Amino acid sequence: MLQILRDQQWGRNEALIVGLKIARKLKVDRLQVYSDFQLVVDQVSSSYEAQEESMVRYLGKVRNLTPAFDSFGIQHIPRAENARADLLSKLATSTSTELSKEVFLETLKCPTTEKSQAVLQTEFEPSWIDPLVAYLKERILPHDRKKARKLKNQTSRYVLYEGRLYTRSYSLPLLRCLRPSEADLAP
């Protein structure tokens, strides 16, 4: 059985698309989907017509993914009877270290209906970030002892996550550190 936890930002449509993609990768032949959102169920089963542009795009994605299955069905289940969704919602508040090794977690950076723009920037201008990243990644310190000690003290306030430098905050989430050229691009 495959269960997908929906995200509040993109909702049940995104969870359905991700679930269909995962089931297709797992080479599932027959798929039965249960959703507590009547509108999604009715649109996928063609009982209702999608009017909103974003819903039409999601429905198009679903329609492109469902032919991969020999049998596909979608059924509405009342929220009160959907205890599994309540259990899965607890995953949203747990950290990845608290999850068992049998739970696969994928975070989407943007909705699947939007085309991501690939940008490859290979060169950056020198920045104050460079020594911090060099130390956190490869433990490279400056030759000057005073600068090395200062850098070690500074790095306790920073963390490197997925190749990006973030500063720790007392009561806020991590704050991303930007290079001057990246800061100019920010809206």
Residues in the chain: 187
Q: Is residue 136 part of a domain?
A: yes
Confirm whether 124 is domain-assigned.
no
pLDDT confidence of residue 3: 47
Domain boundaries, position 165: 129-185
Determine the pLDDT at residue 6.
Answer: 46
Residue 17 located in a structural domain: yes
Q: What is the pLDDT of residue 16?
A: 80
Residue 26 to residues 15, 31, 65, 184: CA-CA distances in angstroms? Answer: 16, 11, 13, 43
Q: What is the pLDDT of residue 145?
A: 92
Q: Which of 108, 105, 26, 33 is nearest to 74 (CA)?
A: 33
Residues of the chain below pLDDT 50: 1-10, 92, 99, 101
| pLDDT of res. 146 | 93
In this structure, the answer to whether residues 88 and 24 fall within a common structural domain is: yes
Please, what is the end-to-end C-alpha distance for the chain in angstroms?
A: 43
Is 5 inside any structural domain?
no
DSSP string, 92-160: GGS-TTTS-TT------SS-TTSPPPP---------THHHHHHHHHH----SSHHHHHHHHHHHTTEEE
15 and 89 assigned to the same domain: yes
User: How confident is the model at residue 102, as a pLDDT?
Assistant: 52
CATH code, domain with 62: 3.30.420.10
